[in-house]
Structure 1
């Protein structure tokens, strides 16, 4: 890679090309760029912290080994999420997954003079109920909902990640949303 442009500013294609040639620094940028997203996704899909860490680590190990197979037909982000989704499925074969709390959905209590303990308690109660409702969803519905609502992915991207058509991914998201809306109707 050119030394006049820092690796952190490089595009995904340049990073993949450099990493495929053995540039560990380029791959480290990929890990830092996409690791938090993959971690957040895996946390929603797996029961405990060790399984989450293992799935994300195994994702990057597999990606490093398979860099020469990445052809750019999908985005690097989608490719990494699809590897991670397969690692999560592998984990399901061992035990039933139960998602845990995620920083993306946690509330942060305000520290101003307008603190509202009732609003804070209600919000915390809602997030706890949302976590429980997510735990009860079938894995593909949960994955489709998390990827759409938390990771802000499109249905074609979700389909690529989960090995589904975009319409099927949309259907899983729809059913998950309908179920969550029903289970959380008291917060409407």
Structure 2
């Protein structure tokens, strides 16, 4: 950041791709608070959220040069964050189940952990991977993240009615894909 000039996210990501760590700091300061809140909605373990947040910005730093400039940087960061969280939760499943000495059954993963893993790695995840990026982004924002259409529109930089239209198209495509048993 030269002389206190506030740069937009796109410019920050371009500068980050060129190795500007001040750009990383500004992206972090701008996006970490809301990312943390959204991650906390999916995982109530503060340590896991903090690790995922850190991993998200490391991945953004390493992958800044691969950002294609389509969509909002915030949506791109959220995509990284949710994949980091799912990956972290999936690794948890590979750990042997712990037994509570006073309980007769093993502790099992939460329903939320199982759902996140299913969305990322199950039939729905495969179907979503075949959606065009603009449809996938609105589904992630509205369905998976629980944002209103207004919030999703703001995050993605598109009108609220466009969000509604894309959600409708995405759901129809996912429904058809899942009923056929293969991604469209």
Q: What TM-score do the two structures reach when normalised by structure 2?
A: 0.56
Structure 1: state its 5+ residue gaps.
99-134, 158-164, 172-188
Q: Within 5 A, what are the aligned runs for 1:1-188?
A: 3-4=2-3, 6-7=4-5, 9-93=6-90, 94-95=92-93, 96-97=109-110, 138-139=115-116, 144=143, 146-149=145-148, 152-154=151-153, 157=156, 166-167=167-168
Deviation at 1:27, TM superposition (A): 1.1
Distance 1:156 1:84 in 2: 15
Tell me how many residue pairs correspond in the alignment.
125
Deviation at 1:74, TM superposition (A): 1.7
The list of structure 1 runs, each at least 4 consecutive aligned residues, that deviate by more than 6 angstroms after superposition, is 168-171
Distance 2:168 2:75 in 1: 17
Deviations 1:74-110 (A, max 9, x none): 2110100000110111122114358xxxxxxxxxxxx
Tell me how large the CA RMSD over aligned residues is: 3.5
Q: Which has the higher contact order (CA 8 A, sep 6+)?
A: 1
Q: What TM-score do the two structures reach when normalised by structure 1?
A: 0.55
Deviation at 1:150, TM superposition (A): 11
Distance 2:73 2:66 in 1: 12
Structure 2: state its 5+ residue gaps.
94-108, 120-138, 157-165, 173-184
Q: Decide whether the 8 Å contact of 1:43 with 1:52 is kept in 2.
A: yes
